[in-house]
A and B are shown apart, each in its own frame.
Chain A
Amino acid sequence: MSDEHNGSSVPAPRDEHGEVIGVRRGMFGANNGGDTSGYGGLVRTVALPGASSRPYGGWFDEVADELEGALEEQGLVPENAIEKTVVDRDELTFHIAREHLVNVAKTLRDDPALRFELCTGVSGVHFPGDKGRELHAVYHLRSLTHGRLIRVEVSTPDEDRHLPSLVPVYPTNDWHEREAYDFFGLVFDGHPALTRIMMPDDWQGFPQRKDYPLGGIPVEYKGAQIPAPDQRRSYS
């Protein structure tokens, strides 16, 4: 079996189970009324791509080796810092434990074999179904020296939305972290001035969380009432 995965053209094998973020029931978004389609009993698990096993393919192995080696040199156990490594759609993602984020980022930036000099900011994602890791902060790091791009993902539980700020390592993240705080309530400890950036200072709630409604009013079009976008039928 293992021989099959050694060719570089073969995608890295994935843990079939992945990270379950929810369950999808039925079809066509018909949740009330009789099950006229016969698909009402359909249950499907929604799982994000799970951890990959080696080899990751291409330069991914080199970056993973260098990162693990550099962390070991600093006296860290790589398995503690890197929760898992995912290769999906030709993209390499390191899931990093939040307490190690600053160290890992500094290593990724400074190690001559890694040199991810450019951080393209942080994007928050809210997975209410991912229990204990509801909020994800996703960083994309670009190496101009080597022409590579990797993704670093950190998750926090909803009850404790703290993670260290990367502004000391990548000053460009100043506004990006303020944006993620503004929209998701992620608190970046150590940020020089973590205030709202898009919404007014006195705004209540964090608009891009999944439990925050979109809002909107029904509109009349050619005599028909069109419900607000979040009230329209959604297809499960």
Chain B
Amino acid sequence: MTTPHATPRATTEGTVYTVTGGDWDEIVENAAASDDERIIVNMGPQHPSTHGVLRLILEIDGETVTEARCGIGYLHTGIEKNLEFRSWTQGTTFVTRMDYLTPFFNETAYCLGVEKLLGIEDQIPDRATVLRVLLMELNRLSSHLVCIATGGMELGATTIMIYGFRDRELVLDLFELITGLRMNHAFVRPGGLAQDLPPGAVDQLREFVKTMKKNLPEYDALATGNPIFKARMQDVGYLDLTGCMALGATGPILRSAGLPHDLRKTDPYCGYETYDFEVPTADSCDAYGRFLIRLEEMRQSLRIIEQCIDRLEPGPVMVADKKIAWPAQLALGPDGLGNSLDHIKKIMGTSMEALIHHFKLVTEGFRVPVGQAYTAVESPKGELGVHVVSDGGTRPYRVHFRDPSFTNLQAMAAMCEGGQVADVIVAVASIDPVMGGVDR
């Protein structure tokens, strides 16, 4: 007798069950009745614990995973191809959607690449660079919070989930205040930023730092010493330094193997060499070590945010070159944020030249000299590299993102094979893959 949820089908490869939940016992009974101990489980692509649409193909023998493979591509949206049909500035609207949990890292890495091609790295105003660092560090907090929250939820620790999303919400509120959007900001633009901080933002930022300093120890109290949490995390998802280097794993995975490699220190960009912070490492090579590293990185991010706030000096946030600077004079209108009516009045009514300039820059964009550049930033997941190629036109010729989630996810097989089925979820969560970045 079978329920409609788990109808067996005989195929040439063996019996196939489609499992939708609540009927695992029946599968086990049926499998026990047959003489084949080996089961291939297709986890996903729609399982809630798979961080988007990741498909895991596991060959299991009893409770042991003998082989593990990933099926990816379910979230491929052709962003890299689409970029080739938009202007350089429009590119930020696309790249921000790649790894949707780290939008500011995608935008900054892309803009640093474009600026390198343009040769204007030295002309980016200080205030814009400080604000980029500030936004990236806030973003590191929100990304790590999601990782810890969902990782906890996958263990059944829903309190961590509630805590994580509660604090992430505070970061998203700041993003909304500063950029107008909670996600997909397109706020960092080639040459600087779309606009300056709104009034009152600095006070809210200080308030946020104060709140987070109170909230972060709660994760320690709740999870760090928790014996159940440790039992589930320690020695799970093991990948040592050799494995990390061979598989190209970066970010918390590499640092959990004891190597303090962080691009902010080893290949600084955006003036990171002038900030005072530490790169935490662990030597346990496991999921627990990665959890501790993420917690510590959040504390370090708060330190950097405080330094950013102290450094903010009044000034422009866009490069002075009017042939590159997007003529965005944004203002809040009755129908939301848009071009400032004063700016439109000026270019439409009084300055024909300004109108032509605005029109040309918005429709045609600027030309970027021929060549290629590679820029990389340390995203919360690891090295986020951008390879930008220009043929001298107003559109990118080719943009390739080396997304850390994509590379790190390759390590899934090495971390899971030989372990238990239940540990697969913990190992994948410790990689912190985001399929928007993996599939692009």
Contacts and interface: CB of A to CB of B under 8 A. Distances in A.
Interface stretch (A42-50, A59-67, A77-85, A217-225): A42-50
Contacts of A149: 267, 374, 376
A22 B391 contact: yes
Given A175-B406, A198-B72, A147 B392 contact: no
A102 interface: no
A202 to B, nearest CB: 13
A121 B402 contact: yes
Interface residues of A, number: 53
A199 interface: yes
Contact of A120 (B383, B395, B409): B383
A154 interface: no
Given A120-B383, A198-B439, A170 B248 contact: yes
Contacts of A6: none
Nearest to B249: A172
A161 interface: no
A24 B395 CA distance: 14
B116 A89 contact: yes
Interface string B399-416: 010100011011000000
A236 B247 contact: no
B181 interface: no
A46 B370 contact: yes
A150 B366 CA distance: 28
B402 A120 contact: yes
Contacts of A208: 80-81, 398
Interface string A21-54: 1101000110000000000000010111100000
Interface string A189-212: 000000011111000000110000
B395 A144 contact: no
A93 B407 CA distance: 23
Interface in B345-390: 364-365, 370-374, 376, 383, 385, 387, 389
Contact of B119 (A89, A138, A171, A207): A89
A140 B73 contact: no
B186 interface: no
Interface in B250-275: 250, 259, 261, 266-267
Contacts of A172: 246-249, 407, 410
B249 to A, nearest CB: 8
B156 interface: no
A226 interface: no
B394 interface: yes
Pick the most buried of B73, B400, B402, B410: most chain A CB atoms within 10 A of its CB: B400
A194 to B, nearest CB: 15
A144 B261 contact: yes
Given A125-B389, A144-B259, A147-B267, A198 B410 contact: no
A144 B392 CA distance: 33
B247 A207 contact: no
B239 to A, nearest CB: 12
Nearest to B365: A235
21 contacts: A18-B370, A21-B391, A49-B371, A117-B245, A120-B248, A120-B402, A120-B407, A121-B407, A123-B402, A125-B372, A125-B389, A140-B374, A144-B261, A172-B247, A196-B73, A198-B440, A199-B73, A214-B82, A214-B85, A230-B85, A235-B393
Interface of A: 18, 21-22, 24, 28-29, 44, 46-49, 88-89, 91, 93, 117-121, 123-126, 138, 140, 142, 144, 147, 149, 151, 170-176, 179, 196-200, 207-208, 214, 229-230, 232, 234-236
* 10 interchain residue pairs of minimum CB distance: A172-B248, A123-B400, A198-B73, A198-B76, A229-B85, A123-B387, A171-B246, A235-B394, A235-B364, A125-B398
